[in-house]
Amino acid sequence: MRRKIAILGATGSIGTSTLDLVERSPERFEVVAVTAATNVEALAEIARRTNARLAVIADESRSQELAELLVGTGCRAAAGKEALLDAAGGEADLVIAAIVGCAGLPPVMCAVETGKTVALANKEALVTAGALMMDAAIAHGATLLPVDSEHNAIFQCLAGSRAEDVSKLILTASGGPFRTASIDEINAATPAEAVAHPNWSMGAKISVDSATMMNKGLELIEAHYLFGLPSERIDILVHPQSVIHSMVEYVDGSVLAQLGSPDMRIPISYALAWPERLETPAERLDLAAIARLDFEAPDLTRFPALRLARGALIEGGAAPNVLNAANEIAVASFLEGRIRFTEIADIVREALESSNFSAPRSIDEVMEIDRATRQRVAASMKASCH
C-alpha cells in the first residue's frame, strides 16, 4: 500500500525537498494534494508531474489561471482558505505541513483534527497554538512528526526512552550569517546578506529568522510544546558547523546527539518513512575532513530576539502569538527594504510590551490575535515613518 501524501507549501524549500524524496520512491508514496500561495505555474507543474488529484492555490485571484493550467490532467483545481483545509483534511494519510508562517495553522489543525499523521515543518503553527494542537492530537489520535532538523534530531535521540530519564534538551544553532559580525555590521545588514545562510538553503523568512536568531527562539517554544519540557530545561548552544542537529542529556549524564550533513532531506525522510528509514541522496558525513566541531554560548546582546522568545515562552498566554505575529510582519518589512535589520527585534519587543491579549482558547482566537497584532504593528511602523 502506497502512503497518500498531501504537501502543503509544495512550491517552497521544504516542499521541493519533500517532492525530491517522494519522486525517488514512487513505490512507497502517492502525492494526492499539493498547495501553494501564489506561485500558480510551479504548482500546476508539480500537480502534473506527480499526478496529484487536488491542487490548491491560496490566492483566490489565481483560481482561473490554475484551472486553465490543469485542463486535461484530471487534477481538480481549487483556491482559497477553505480549499486548503480540503487538501489537509482530505484523502491523505500523511500531511507535510510546509506552509510558512501562522497562515499554515488552520490547515495543520484540520489535519490534526482529522487524525492524520502530520510531518510538521511549519514551526509557527506550534509557536502560536502549541497547547491547542498537542491537546487536539491526543483527542483525535493524530501523530505529529517533527521535520525541523533540531526537533527531528531530538525525536531520534529520544526514541525508546522514558520521559523521567531526560534531564534536558540542547538545541544547536549555527549562529547564522552574522555570528561573528559586530553590532555595527549587524545594524547595516542588507536583506541579501541576511538570507545568505552559511550552511542551509531555506526560504527567505526562515533565513532572516536564522540571521536574527529568532528562528532558535521559535524552535525553543516549538520544543517546549513538542517534548513537554519547561524553558529552563531547554538549552541553546551555538555550533557553527551544523553537523550536530541537537542533543538530549539524560539523568545519568549521557548525552545523545544526532549528526548529519545539513540537508533537510534527512529529517524530512525520517518523517516520511517513520518508523522505518528511507535512503536519501544526502551527502554522507566525513568527520575526518570536518576535523573539528565548535561550540559557544549564544550572545544575547547581539541577538536579542533569543531573549525575547524565551521571555515570551516563560510569560505564556498570548505572548508567543504576539512575538510570532510581530516577527512575521517585521521580517516581511525588512525583506521589502522598509526597516533596518536591528529594528526587527525592536518591533517585536514593542509589540510584546504593548500587548494585553488573553491566552487564546481556540484557533479562531489565535488567528484574531495574529490579525490584531499585525494591524497594530503595521500602524505603529507607519506612524514612525512619518
Ligand X SMILES: NC(=O)c1ccc[n+]([C@@H]2O[C@H](COP(=O)([O-])OP(=O)(O)OC[C@H]3O[C@@H](n4cnc5c(N)ncnc54)[C@H](OP(=O)(O)O)[C@@H]3O)[C@@H](O)[C@H]2O)c1
Binding residues: 11-14, 37, 39, 122-124, 148-150, 174, 197, 203, 210, 215-216, 219
Indicate whether 327 belongs to the interface with ligand X (CB under 6 A).
no
| Residue with the shortest CB distance to ligand X | 12
If you compute the radius of gyration of the chain from its CA atoms, what whole number of angstroms results? Answer: 20
Pick between residue 149 and residue 355 the one whose CB is nearest to ligand X: 149
Q: Which amino acid is at 224?
A: H
**Helices (H), ranges, the chain:** 13-24, 40-50, 63-69, 81-89, 105-113, 123-140, 149-158, 183-187, 191-194, 204-212, 214-227, 265-273, 287-290, 304-315, 319-335, 343-354, 363-385
Which residue in this structure is represented by grid cell 544526502? 282
Binding mask 16-55 for ligand X (x = CB under 6 A): --------------------xxxx----------------
Pick between residue 148 and residue 249 the one whose CB is nearest to ligand X: 148
Which residue in this structure is represented by grid cell 541522496? 281
**At CA 273, angle to CA 268 and CA 278, rounded to 5?**
80
Strands 166-173 and 244-250: antiparallel
Indicate whether 366 belongs to the interface with ligand X (CB under 6 A).
no
Quote the least distance from Cβ 302 to ligand X, whole Å.
22
Report how many residues bind ligand X under the rule CB under 6 A: 28
Among 98, 118, 236, 325, binds ligand X (CB under 6 A): 98
Binding residue positions for 1-deoxy-D-xylulose 5-phosphate: 123, 149-150, 174, 197, 210, 215-216, 219
Pick between residue 270 and residue 350 the one whose CB is nearest to ligand X: 270
DSSP string, 41-57: HHHHHHHHHHT-SEEEE
Q: What angle separates helix 13-24 from helix 265-273, to the nearest 10 degrees?
A: 60
Interface with ligand X by CB under 6 A: which range of 121-129, 138-146, 291-299, 346-354? 121-129
In the complex, the residues that contact ligand X under the rule CB under 6 A are 9-15, 36-39, 58, 98-101, 103, 121-124, 148, 200, 202-203, 205-206, 264
